[in-house]
Amino acid sequence: MNERAAAAVKPVRNESGLEVQPLYTAADVQASGGLAMLGEPGAYPFTRGIHPLMYRKQPWTMRQYAGFGNAAETNRRFKYLIANGQTGLNVAFDLPTQIGLDSDDPMAEGEVGRVGMAVDTLADFETAFDGIDLDRITVSLTINGAAAPLIAMYLALAEKRGYDLKKLRGTAQNDILKEFIGRGTWIFPVEPSIKLVGDTIEYCAEHAPKYSPVSVCGYHIRESGATPAQEMAYAFCIAKAYADEVIARGVPVDEFAGRLSYNFNIFGNLFEQVAKFRAGRSLWARIMKEQYGAKDPGSMWLRMIAGGGGGGLTFEQPEVNIVRGAYYALIAALSGAQTMALCSYDEAYTIPTEYSARLSLRTMQLLIEEMGLAETVDPLGGSFYVETLTNQMRALIEQQMAEVDAEGGIVKLVADGRVQARVSAQAYAMQRAIDAGSFRKVGVNCYRIEEEEHEVAFHPYKEEDAAAQVASLDRLRRERDAGAVQAALARVRADAAAGRNVMPSLVEAVKAYASVGEITAELVAVYGRYREPVRF
């Protein structure tokens, strides 16, 4: 394309703010930084993937987000998904559990089991994972504010069932800083919250070295209004804050960094998403090698779950979300994700039905079995456009991380509410753009059907299941050893007050069947509760 023709084309920018050219050549790749950071799959800096053969050796883990009602109901859904070919579990918890409330707490009324599984004690985990081989099916716990006691429960469950904790695999989201930015299921103030994350990393490094105690979640930051580049930048700043906390305790970086993982979002422009992941992999590797002195290549890996993108789904014309979901899965595969958790088409409305969850699972399986996505590594590598955009995204992510550091660092910005305000303002601006039609959304502001009918089955909320959960908790409290519970809770408070790692006492407390609410109350007595700074 000649210069005059190019000049006549209306400028286009992606969501991260980078201008997209009508045509890319080798000269654009060179001008953006060349191929110095490309490398080979499985070798530093891992732009093309963290394993040499990637999916050719082993396809991505399929880990649909699931959980509702009580533990028995959730166990049935888990087994349904596993029977249909799912290879990992991704557990959704209800709101009371996420914020450290027991099911019989007055503040939990109406929310028990509504948006996830209700968990009060270790007994609920014993029911939820009954009949599931924890060596064959790895489990991800999507829990943050109450992550420490829930991780303790999972480790106690595994130990009780005879699994070797040194070999146990699994993941907990446990990213509290993004909760302050995005979702809001915090409990404790910022500093003690980071301390608890550090406790889990330090404890698992010693006792469960193959378990991933933190999955840094750029996903929810993106859902809250961040651009794709900001999603990566803020996630890396958060991961560095956790790494700094653990290193300050004297734990060498190579003893824990290999078990840090990430949960990232996928919606929007296909090429921008692929480029952000390729850029992010090489940037994270460089950060760990050059800034933290990591020697083990595994410490430099950006291991990620991707495939979701709930913010991209629409209430309007819900069947179109099936197509969106297929493209999200395609992006995840082209991006080199280790795990996929694909949003189901009805998630803009309700908890997915068995039918919609199975359809998402089949979408991921189709990419492997029919579409050839597992046959070669980094199939978009070498594209002039993709390589240029990868270089540009890497530079932009670095720039945004530098801006965070210049303002005092991610912990300070979160504590002050500045990141939250920035992301919220962007979400508002995006919604105004959608409302005005300047940001095109199929079925919402273009190609609408004014009289459309929504044939989506709503997941019913069953009051009787909530009542059964409360009754079960009451029965357990009467049957457990009350003296052992009180002694364990006293140790939790004492360890928290002394600044010790609370994980050993949490493990003992959950083994005594202390509840999430009881444990949280002991920690709140020491740490206090978070009060959100509101900025306008």
- The answer to whether residue 8 scores a pLDDT higher than 70 is no
d(CA 276, CA 98): 30
With respect to residue 456, please indicate whether it lies within any of the assigned structural domains: no
Bond prior to 297 in cis (omega within 30° of 0): no
Residue 305 dihedral angles phi and psi, to the nearest 5°: -105, 135
DSSP letters, 58-94, are: SPPEE--EE--SSHHHHHHHHHHHHHTT--EEEEEB-
Per-residue pLDDT tens over the stretch 221-244? 999 999 999 999 999 999 999 999
Quote the pLDDT of residue 462. Answer: 84
Question: Distances in Å between the alpha carbon of 284 and those of 279, 292, 366, 390?
Answer: 9, 11, 31, 14
Q: What's the domain range around 383?
A: 44-436
Question: Distances in Å between the alpha carbon of 528 and those of 260, 270, 517?
Answer: 27, 43, 14
With respect to residue 183, please indicate whether it lies within any of the assigned structural domains: yes
pLDDT band at 459 (very low <50, low <70, confident <90, very high): confident
Quote the pLDDT of residue 453. Answer: 67
More confident residue, 12 or 461: 12
DSSP letters, 337-401, are: -SEE-PPPTTTTTSSPPHHHHHHHHHHHHHHHHTS-TTSSS-TTTT-HHHHHHHHHHHHHHHHHH
Per-residue pLDDT tens over the stretch 320-344? 999 999 999 999 999 999 999 999 9
Quote the pLDDT of residue 284. Answer: 98
| 458 Rama sector, left if φ>0, alpha if ψ -120 to 50, beta otherwise | beta
With respect to residue 197, please indicate whether it lies within any of the assigned structural domains: yes
| 531 Rama sector, left if φ>0, alpha if ψ -120 to 50, beta otherwise | beta
505-521: average pLDDT: 98
**Identity of the residue numbered 378:** D
- The answer to whether residue 536 scores a pLDDT higher than 70 is no
With respect to residue 233, please indicate whether it lies within any of the assigned structural domains: yes
Measured N-to-C along each axis, helices 503-511 and 147-160 cross at an angle, to the nearest 10 degrees, of 60
Per-residue pLDDT tens over the stretch 469-511? 999 999 999 999 999 999 999 999 999 999 999 999 999 999 9
d(CA 510, CA 503): 11
What one-character DSSP code corresponds to residue 108?
G
d(CA 56, CA 39): 19
With respect to residue 364, please indicate whether it lies within any of the assigned structural domains: yes
Nearest one of 408, 344, 140, 165 to 262, comparing CA atoms? 140
Q: Tell me the CATH number at 217.
A: 3.20.20.240
With respect to residue 341, please indicate whether it lies within any of the assigned structural domains: yes
With respect to residue 365, please indicate whether it lies within any of the assigned structural domains: yes
Quote the pLDDT of residue 316. Answer: 92
Length of the chain: 536
CB 403 within 8 A of CB 397: no
What's the number of domains the chain is made of? 1
- 3-state SS of 128-151 is HCCCCCCCCCEEEEECCCCHHHHH
| Exposure of 297 in the CB half-sphere (CA atoms within 13 A) | 10
pLDDT band at 1 (very low <50, low <70, confident <90, very high): low
- Bridge partners of residue 261, in order along the sequence: 215
More confident residue, 65 or 494: 494
Per-residue pLDDT tens over the stretch 110-157? 999 999 999 999 999 999 999 999 999 999 999 999 999 999 999 999
Q: How many other C-beta atoms can be found within 10 angstroms of the C-beta atom of residue 43?
A: 14
pLDDT band at 531 (very low <50, low <70, confident <90, very high): confident
Which residues, other chains included, contact 48 with Cβ-Cβ below 8 Å and sequence gap of 6+? 38, 39, 40, 41, 278, 336, 377, 378, 381
Distance, CA of 488 to chain centre:
31
With respect to residue 246, please indicate whether it lies within any of the assigned structural domains: yes
d(CA 159, CA 152): 10
Strand stretches in 303-344, DSSP E: 304-306, 339-340
Which residues, other chains included, contact 363 with Cβ-Cβ below 8 Å and sequence gap of 6+? 322, 325, 326, 329, 342
Per-residue pLDDT tens over the stretch 173-186? 999 999 999 888 99
- Bridge partners of residue 302, in order along the sequence: none
**Identity of the residue numbered 330:** L
pLDDT band at 455 (very low <50, low <70, confident <90, very high): confident
DSSP H helices, 377-515, are 384-406, 410-416, 418-436, 463-479, 482-498, 503-511
d(CA 237, CA 243): 10
**Identity of the residue numbered 131:** G
Which residues, other chains included, contact 320 with Cβ-Cβ below 8 Å and sequence gap of 6+? 314, 442, 443
